[in-house]
């Protein structure tokens, strides 16, 4: 039986998650379930896409990933089933698929009746039956999606002598992840020295290989496991102490 995962903004203490898990055991018995995150910021499709991108390649082929964020079927129409790198993603037609770094191999849509059945609880009434359908029948009975909604991603601004990026995710430790990818930074820097301006008063000169490359309480930049630039404070909260909440800008200048 396939592995099934969930990314949601329901919150970790929401009793509806218990209902979902119980129904999952009944209807997809024998499947492995992984809760990736129930703490995505409310209605934040961009953050959900970032979280999915971060873990997608760690799962085996034919894993089924449900992304239950901004899932109003009345607003977004039939639910979507996307084939990405030999895995499945179930989500609303809310622009999330357009934000993923990994290309879409195919996109199907659920029938109108199943989508409408979601009502106020799409996760249980639409997404779970879709996951069961995929696990048992594959895409049989599903038709190709006609139109995929696109959402503008937050891309860094790259000029000859600088990159301006945005904080797109803050984790439990207060680490602030930017939308600056390693390949983009290395291409723009072209071997030049850099000055990383975190705010008006704090700047760094380099990117470290380890958190402990600095003393406790000091700021550092490191690469995430999937190569996005992250600002951290060793044993501290970079987002709170440096004012790097989501949406804040940082600038990297080259010399």
CA dist., res. 64 & res. 86, Å (int): 10
The predicted-structure confidence for 135-169, as pLDDT tens digits, reads as follows 999 999 899 998 899 987 778 999 999 999 999 99
Q: Kindly tell me the sign of the dihedral angle through the C-alpha atoms of 16, 34, 135, 26.
A: negative
Asked if the model's pLDDT at residue 103 lies above 90, the reply is no
pLDDT at 153: 72
Strand-pair partners of 179: none
Please report the pLDDT score of residue 210 as a whole number.
94
pLDDT, one tens digit per residue, over 192-235 is 999 999 998 999 999 999 999 999 999 999 999 889 999 999 99
Question: What pLDDT does residue 101 have?
Answer: 84
pLDDT, averaged across the chain = 93
Of 169, 185, 189, 186, which Cα lies nearest the Cα of 244?
169
Whether the CB-CB separation of 126 and 117 falls below 8 Å is answered with: yes
3 state SS of 217:
coil
State yes or no: pLDDT of 69 exceeds 90: yes
Question: What average pLDDT does range 5-15 have in this prediction?
Answer: 94
User: Around 32, how many Cα atoms within 13 Å sit in the side-chain half-sphere?
Assistant: 9
Q: How far does CA 24 lie from the centroid of its chain? A: 23
Concatenated DSSP letters of 142-181? -EE-S--------PPEE-SSEEEEEEEEE-TT--EEEEEE
Other C-beta atoms closer than 10 Å to the C-beta of 254 total 17
Task: Tell me the average pLDDT across 241-248.
Answer: 94
Evaluate the CA torsion angle 157, 190, 231, 66 in order and state its sign: positive
State the pLDDT at residue 119. Answer: 84
CA gap 59, 141 in Å, rounded: 26
Find the helix or strand (DSSP H, E) in which 5 lies: strand 3-8
Q: Where are the alpha helices (DSSP H) in the chain?
A: 15-27, 45-55, 73-76, 96-99, 112-116, 122, 128-137, 182-189, 238-242
Joined together, the tokens standing for residue 124 give 């249980």
Instruction: Give all domains of the chain, ordered by start, each with its CATH number.
Output: 3-144 (3.40.50.10790), 157-254 (2.40.30.90)
Tell me the pTM: 0.87
pLDDT value, residue 208:
95
């Amino acid at each position: 039986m396939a592995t099934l995962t969930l990314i949601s903004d329901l919150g970790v203490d929401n009793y509806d998650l218990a209902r979902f898990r119980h129904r999952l055991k009944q209807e997809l018995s024998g499947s492995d379930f992984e809760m990736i995150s129930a703490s995505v910021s409310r209605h934040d499709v961009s953050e959900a896409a970032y979280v999915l991108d971060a873990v997608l390649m760690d799962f085996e082929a034919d894993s089924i990933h449900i992304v239950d964020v901004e899932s109003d079927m009345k607003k977004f129409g039939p639910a979507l089933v996307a084939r990405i790198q030999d895995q499945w993603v179930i989500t609303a037609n809310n622009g999330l698929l357009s934000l993923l770094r990994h290309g879409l191999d195919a996109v199907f849509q659920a029938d109108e009746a199943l989508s409408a059945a979601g009502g106020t609880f799409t996760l249980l009434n639409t997404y779970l039956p879709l996951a069961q359908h995929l696990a048992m029948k594959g895409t049989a009975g599903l038709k190709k999606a006609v139109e995929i909604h696109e959402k503008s991603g937050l891309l860094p601004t790259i000029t000859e002598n600088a990159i301006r990026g945005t904080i797109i995710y803050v984790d439990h430790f207060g680490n602030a992840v930017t939308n600056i990818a390693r390949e983009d930074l290395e291409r723009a820097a072209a071997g030049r020295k850099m000055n990383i301006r975190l705010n008006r008063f704090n700047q760094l000169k380099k990117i470290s290989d380890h958190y402990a490359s600095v003393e406790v309480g000091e700021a550092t930049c490191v690469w995430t496991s999937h190569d996005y630039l992250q600002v951290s404070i060793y044993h501290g909260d970079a987002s709170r102490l440096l004012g790097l909440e989501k949406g804040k800008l940082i600038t990297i200048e080259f010399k």
